[in-house]
Structure 1
Amino acid sequence: MSDALAGPAESVLDGLDDEQRAAASTLAGPLCILAGAGTGKTRAITHRIAYGVRAGVYDPHRVLAVTFTARAAAEMRSRLTGLGAPGVQARTFHAAALRQLQYFWPMVVGGALPQILDYKVRLLAEAAKRLRITTDRASLRDFASEIEWAKVSTLTPEGYLAGAEDRETPAGADHQSFARLYQAYEDLKEDRHLMDFEDVLLFTAGMLESDERVAAQVQQQYRHFVVDEYQDVSPLQQRLLENWLGGREELCVVGDASQTIYSFTGATPDYLLSFRRRYPGAEVVRLVRDYRSTPEVVKLANILLADRRPGGQAAWPAPLQLISQRSSGPSPEISEHADDEAEAAGIAQKVAELSQTGTALREIAVLYRTNGQSQAFEQALATAGISYQLRGSERFFSRAEVREAIAALRTSSLISEDSGDTVAAAVRGVLSSIGWSPQAPSSTGAVRERWESLAALVGLAEQLDIERDEFTLREFVAELEERSAVQHAPTVEGVTLASLHSAKGLEWEAVFLAGLCEGLMPITFAQTQQELDEERRLLYVGITRAKTQLFLSSAAARHPGGRGRRKASRFVIPLRKELGLGAPARRIAPGQGVLSLNAAARRRKAAVCAGCGAVLTVGAQITRRRCEDCPPRYDEQLFEHLRSWRRSYAHQLQVRAFMVFSDATLELLAEHKPTTDAALLEIPGIGERKVEQHGEPLKAAIQAHLNPE
């Protein structure tokens, strides 16, 4: 190491492990940091930037650190300030691009910058009406998502047909109709001088590519780039990054292909995985020491990824093998429940037990696959008298008591800072005048919620007091105002309810992963190997959110009294084996026990499972072409629709429902979705007589589900 890097700057590297230190001390790019969950990647890159600044290698005003959420950017700025590098720009892609667009638009285009369109749905509804395309709110949301995907994939309306030919059409529209809708939406935006969030990136990239003056000025401004969560960049973001670089190689990227969970938005890990090919001289540092989770949690996460064998057309890069740096903890638990209500009640009971034994509610999270699952957990926690916060609900800094607290702190900071108190003591003193007290109120409801908000501010003051030297009340108020601008809220007391996608980047002492059954994890519409791989990665992200305690659960039925047809997720099978658990208990209907093959059966051609190839001997399994242990492949919603239709149809015919079609046959119908007589005859259990008797109403029922309009 050169003399220029010696001296006080070296102290920034104190406390880093060998791999983190290697990353932080490599100041010249290109550098690729492959960082597993909980391995301290933010610590490594913030110390790298601070080290470069304090060593005089980086001008802090010419460093741009880019990440994907305003919260992560605010956290990075806060850490850099604490490390003595306050001038570094840490922004999201959109925030950095918008700032440049606002500056250069008058110079390059002239006039006012188009207004940003917050929601696409209203404009899309108008565009659809002009084209006489029938829509509802759900289909409009799907169209909006497809436009976002097309734009981040750099597909124009003209290029959409070729670029999306292998992609499923949104909301049942054909590709040609959607391309026309996409163009009509773009025309309306232009007529009204509007732009959407994707346009911010597109327009900025376009300016940099078309105007050499703009490119030269931006490239002069920023000399060093750091990109966090690089596995989640889209083609459009990569295009913008390359324009910022202008052929230079002063780039540090950080990511983990095993945490790629946003492919549906256009994100791709390809740029991370091909980094060495694009930059042959790049340094690569692997961070695998996990400081977040216990060995028991880490081992389960490693097993989940290792269970997916590489091969086939779907790429599966070798995952990082995490090594826990923490002492041993409790073994993860896997439980099964009769229905969703029972599962939620069981989780609420366990949360109460954790709280009674000392785990703070803010250190507990319940994570699930879809937002629609939250209601059962909200009800169960409320019934148990346990406070919770629904991630994505009312914004923390929008609450009346928080606005009141910031105003009081601002006034106090302007009066005097000569009291000699720490910032935390000053904040406690100010907030005690508007309702905060050291002891939480015993009541629930609004009083408790107000106290929790104020307590979160006190907790943040205590945390920053420890992290920052010579910290002042005025600096604390400035920190709150900056956090308010980007909605970087402090932790509120209460169990967190969140989807797995929204939990990315967060961590808790105890994590409940709920609803781990086929149809939810993996989700029903995950059909291809790439889609199933992403579901596996999503569960991996969920597991690695847990620091100490991990609970996985599933429910056999949606509602109390249901038939319990759900199966536990295929992803849980290797985890059960690791924990020494047998196969989940199954209810076997009379006459469906496993029978041994006799000599005659062996001589006949055996029926085999389409999933695993096992020989089938039970009648219903032979009809389904699936053994008891393999996950169903049918559309669960269509299956329930057909069961409802069969009940009504059988009532009209005054016969028992099973005399029309068996459940096994309905499963095959829900899997293959036949809409012609020829296709119906391909289904085991349906012959010409069945088609003649019930074919027309059956086809109508299937069509009604596939095309509700």
Structure 2
Amino acid sequence: TPPLLCTFHKFGLLFLKFYMTELGRKNNFIIIDTDDKKRILKSIDKEITTSLVAAEISKYKNTLITPSEAKSAAQLKLYKDIADIYEKYEDYIAKNNLVDFDDLLLLPYKILKNNEELAKETSKRYQYIMVDEYQDTNELQYRLLRMLCTTHDNLCVVGDDDQSIYGWRGATIKNILNFSEHFEDTTVVKLEENYRSTDTILNHANQLIEHNRDRLGKKLVGTRSKGDSIKVYESHDENEETRKIVDDIKNLLDAGKSAKDIAILFRVNALSRSLEEGFNKAGLNYKLVGGMKFYERAEIKDLIAYFRILTNASDNFSLKRVINKPKRGIGKTTIDKLEAKSQETKKPIFDLIQELTPEELTAIVGKKNSRTLKVFEATIIDLREIIDESKMKFLDSFEESFDYRASYDNVPDGFERQANVDEFYGYIRDYFIQHPHLELKDFLNDIALESENSEYNNEAISMMSIHASKGLEFKNVFIIGLEEGFFPITGDGADTEEERRLGYVAITRAMDNLTLSFVHSRFYKGKRTQLKRSRFLSESGLIKGCLTIEKTSSYKKGDLVQHKIFGMGRVQKSAKAGKDYKLTINFGGTVRDILSSFVEKI
């Protein structure tokens, strides 16, 4: 028989068709997609953000946590509620013989774990197993592999630990780092020859990634020429940055280079806005790979709809878009009733809400919705007055009134959406500073013209996030936004080592020419902010830089620390001592015991 070539999930599907009966379920199950899953979750609970619940349940399944385990582990009320929804969801899909995407891995694992004979039989059927992109596997995929290797150790995995960039969606770098501990008699073969990039590019990529501790360790060796040196652009702001890149790209195109050989990469999608604006003005054709143009993103379209209502209350289309964003309990039925009344009276919905008494409105939409709509109306009227008084104060008042940005706090892709909102708020503020005599309607007209980019027939320059660039290569690469907070992303929940791996991936997309760019100021959290250049520029040996000091409350073996007298050292041992840590530190051969309050972590 020919070998089986498939994804983990496809394997799970084939397996379940044969062995679903092992779980007391029929094999005529139906696979549900993400939308089906969200609809089911919404029918169980309408209060908690559905995408958050869906993401948490997926996380639980991929780390083998049952609903009862999730319940007992939950500390906060939110996660206790999610665990309850998880339990009801599992009951519902089992009763209706449905299988979600995560079940395609979880159910085969459960079947094999509970049936030793079947595990042996399946393992014998697949005598040799090969896995590609092993650094992107998660806990459940590893456990499934262990089951398939019940009777043998004929397993070969290929992967690059330095390109493990999907920790946020459950992938664990530990699978590849600990492979030789997980499986006996392992042979490790390092593939260090690189056929893509020039020596110069590889040299700086190597220097950057060597700052990571969690890695097997390898050094890419080029098989091509040394190549040109890497350019680093320092700009005042994102507009100057864009101008430099546009000029460079025009020169490349004039020199006969192909647009398909040029790419611009960024860590945060919001940075595409100034690039898009600059490219539109310069008449350069571009495509956003794996992403959406800035003004087409849902959160930006919502804000534009809000601002349109503030300038024109008769805009029914915009009103219907945002009347329940953020959620305020106004569903489709209520909107349909309002629209029907609007058509009947030939009046815009907003005018109706204004003109009808609370009692009349209650008769159409019910008491609770009537009260909500009257509050919405009053807020819009207040904001209109604030715009007339102060355009700069208006944005803060808008956010205070609607908590629009905050509505993305607990959403899986909330960081990106909030970054887009921040970029948009910042752009509006800048617009009013530069054009104090213009109004909000002028701003809306300007961006409407800007986003109407005519279609070109010729080849396009690629713009994309670094995540979207993985696996691709371009002769000419520009990486923008190399500032602390943008790349690397910093703060709570940020993983600096994964950020550095993203830097490594970004640099190694370039074949011939690479340009890195940082600015002194761009929009951060909705306001123009002075930024520090990224530590990655000095770590990769591209500019002389100082060490970045991180304030931290925990210390572990291997951490680099700085002491005022003894200088830099590496932690050999760490033990809790009251509020501090007692550290054994090696300062270049001299070992000393010092409390953590006397050192700073590098």
For the superposition of Structure 1 and Structure 2, which TM-score range results when normalised by the shorter chain? 0.5 to 0.7
Distance 1:231 1:609 in 2: 27
Structure 2 counterpart of 1:510, one-letter code: N
Which residue number in structure 2 is paired with residue 546 of structure 1? 510
User: Residues of 2 paired with 1:96 and 1:348: CA distance?
Assistant: 47
Cα deviation for residue 191 of structure 1 reads 4.4
**One-letter amino acid of the counterpart of residue 552, structure 1:** L
Aligned match of 1:146 in 53, 56, 65? Answer: 56
Q: Choose the corresponding residue for 2:250, options 348, 352, 358.
A: 352
CA contact (8 A) 1:368 1:498 kept: yes
Q: 2:33 aligns with which of 114, 117, 140?
A: 117
Aligned amino acid, residue 498 of structure 2: E
Are 2:467 and 1:569 aligned? no
Partner Cα separation in structure 1 for residue 492 and residue 478 of structure 2 = 23
Helix, strand or coil at the partner of 1:547: strand
Judged with a 3 Å threshold, the aligned counterparts in structure 2 of structure 1 residues 557 and 251 are, in CA distance, closer, same or farther, namely: same
CA offset at residue 544 of structure 1?
1.1
**Aligned to 1:345, what secondary structure does the other structure show?**
helix
Tell me the residue number matched to 2:128.
224
Aligned-residue offset at 1:507? 1.4
Instruction: Report the TM-score, using the length of structure 1 for normalisation.
Output: 0.50
Q: Which amino acid aligns with 1:343?
A: E
Aligned to 1:558: 522
- Contact 2:231 2:516 (8 Å CA) reproduced: yes
Q: Distance in 1 between matches of 2:3 and 2:74?
A: 39
Structure-1 residue corresponding to 2:487: 521
Alignment of 1:332-347 (within 5 A): 332-347=230-245
**1:497-545 CA distance string (max 9 Å, x none):** 22111222221112111111111112144556xx111111111111111
Match of 2:159 in 1: 255
2:204 and 2:251 map into 1 onto residues whose CA distance is: 24
Contact 2:285 2:456 in 1 (8 A): no
CA distance in 2, matches of 1:447, 1:342: 25
CA 1:253–1:356 in structure 2 vs 1: closer, same or farther (change >3 Å)? same
Give 1:559 shift: 5.2
Q: What secondary structure does 2:188 align onto?
A: strand
Structure-1 separation of matches of 2:550 and 2:160: 36
Instruction: Measure, in 1, the Cα distance between the counterparts of 2:40 and 2:491.
Output: 28
Whether the 8 Å CA contact 1:339–1:559 is kept in 2: the answer is no
Q: Where does residue 472 of structure 2 map in the other structure?
A: 506
Q: Determine whether 1:362 maps to 2:328.
A: no
What is the identity, as a one-letter code, of the residue corresponding to 1:145?
A: A
Distance in 2 separating the partners of 1:275 and 1:610: 33
Structure 1 residue 179 displacement after superposition: 1.8
Match of 2:219 in 1: 321
Q: Name the residue aligned to 1:95.
A: 10
Report deviation, 1:349. Answer: 2.4
- C-alpha contact 1:337 1:343 (8 A) present in aligned 2: yes
Displacement of 1:286 after TM fit?
0.9
- Distance in 2, matches of 1:186 and 1:307, equals 43
2:232 is paired with a residue of what secondary structure? strand
Asked if 1:377 corresponds to 2:275, the answer is: yes
Matched-pair contact (CA < 8 Å) for 1:335–1:553: yes
Question: Is residue 2:122 matched to residue 1:158?
Answer: no
1:294 lines up with 2:294 in the alignment: no
C-alpha contact 2:199 2:222 (8 A) present in aligned 1: yes
Query: For 2:259 and 2:492, how far apart are their aligned partners in 1?
Result: 33
More moved, 358-367 vs 140-149: 140-149
Residue type of the alignment partner of 1:124: L
Q: Deviations over 1:301-352 (max 9, x none)?
A: 11112234x4xxxxx2353111111101111111122222332333232222
Contact 2:18 2:27 in 1 (8 A): no
Q: Distance in 1 between the 2:19 and 2:66 partners?
A: 24
The answer on whether the counterparts of 1:293 and 1:546 sit within 8 Å (CA) in structure 2 is yes
Per-residue deviation, residues 458-508 of structure 1 (Å, max 9, x unmatched): xxxxxxxxxxxxxxxxxxxxxxxxxxxxxxxxxxx4222221112222211
Q: Which moved more, 1:280-289 or 1:118-127?
A: 118-127
**Could you tell me which amino acid in structure 2 is paired with residue 110 of structure 1?**
K
Question: Is the CA contact (8 Å cut-off) linking 1:288 and 1:323 kept in structure 2?
Answer: yes
Offset at residue 206 of structure 1 (A): 2.2
Cα separation, partners in 2 of 1:317 and 1:292, compared to 1, 3 Å = same
- Whether contact under 8 Å (2:17, 2:27) holds in the other structure is no
- Letter paired with 2:52: D
**3-state SS of paired residue (1:286):** coil
- What secondary structure sits across from 1:285 in the alignment? coil
CA contact (8 A) 2:521 2:529 kept: yes
Structure 1 residue 565, shift from structure 2 partner:
1.0
| Closer/same/farther in 2, CA of residues 352 and 217 from structure 1, 3 Å limit | farther
CA deviation map 1:274-299 (0-9, x unaligned)? 22223332222111111111111111
The alpha carbon displacement at 1:377 in A equals 2.3
Instruction: Look up the match of 2:81.
Output: 177
In structure 2, the gaps of 5 or more residues are 293-452, 553-560, 565-602
Q: For 1:242, which of 126, 132, 146 is the aligned residue?
A: 146
CA distance in 1, matches of 2:550, 2:70: 39
The root-mean-square deviation of aligned C-alpha atoms, in Å, is: 3.2
Q: TM-score, normalised by structure 2?
A: 0.59
- Please say if 1:126 is aligned against 2:43: yes
Q: What fraction of aligned residue pairs are identical, expressed as a percent?
A: 33
Matched to 2:34, the amino acid is D
The match for 2:183 among 274, 279, 291 is 279
Shift of 1:117: 2.5
In the other structure, the counterpart of 2:587 is: none
Show the 5 A alignment for 1:466-481: none
Residue 367 (structure 1) shift: 1.3
Q: Structure 1 stretch 350-359 or stretch 513-522: which is displaced more?
A: 350-359
* 2:207 paired with 1:303: yes
Would the aligned equivalents of 1:370 and 1:499 in 2 still touch at CA under 8 Å? yes
Q: Contact 2:26/2:97 (CA < 8 Å) preserved in 1?
A: no
Q: Measured at CA, do residues 143 and 331 of structure 1 come closer, stay the same or move farther in structure 2, by a change above 3 Å?
A: farther
What is the 5 A alignment of 1:412-451?
446=455, 448=457
Local SS of the residue matching 2:190: strand
How many Å separate the matches in 2 of 1:609 and 1:225?
A: 43
Distance 1:368 1:580 in 2: 20
Structure 2 CA distance for partners of 1:280 and 1:330, relative to 1, 3 Å: same
Q: Deviations over 1:189-212 (max 9, x none)?
A: 334443221111112222333446
Alignment: residue pair count: 392
**CA–CA separation in structure 1 for the residues paired with 2:120 and 2:168:** 34
Relative contact order, CA 8 A, sep 6+: which one is greater?
2
1:105 deviates by 3.5
Question: Structure 1 residues 382 and 96, CA, compared in 2 at 3 Å: closer, same or farther?
Answer: farther
- The separation in 2 between residues aligned to 1:393 and 1:266, in whole angstroms, is 21
Change over 3 Å in CA distance of 1:345–1:101 after alignment to 2: farther
* Cα distance, 1:381–1:194 mapped onto 2, change above 3 Å: farther
Give the aligned partner of residue 70 of structure 1.
none
Q: Does the 8 A contact of 2:242 with 2:278 survive in 1?
A: yes
Q: Cα gap change, 1:164/1:234 in structure 2, threshold over 3 Å: closer, same or farther? A: farther
1:28 aligns with: none
Q: In the alignment, which residue of structure 2 is the partner of 1:649?
A: none
Counterpart CA distance in 2 for 1:386 and 1:610 is: 44
In the alignment, which of 2, 20, 36 is matched to residue 105 of structure 1?
20
Return the letter of the residue paired with 2:100: D
Query: CA 1:580 to 1:270, structure 2 compared with 1: closer, same or farther past 3 Å?
Result: closer
| Alpha-carbon distance between aligned partners in 2 of 1:581 and 1:373, rounded to the nearest angstrom | 26
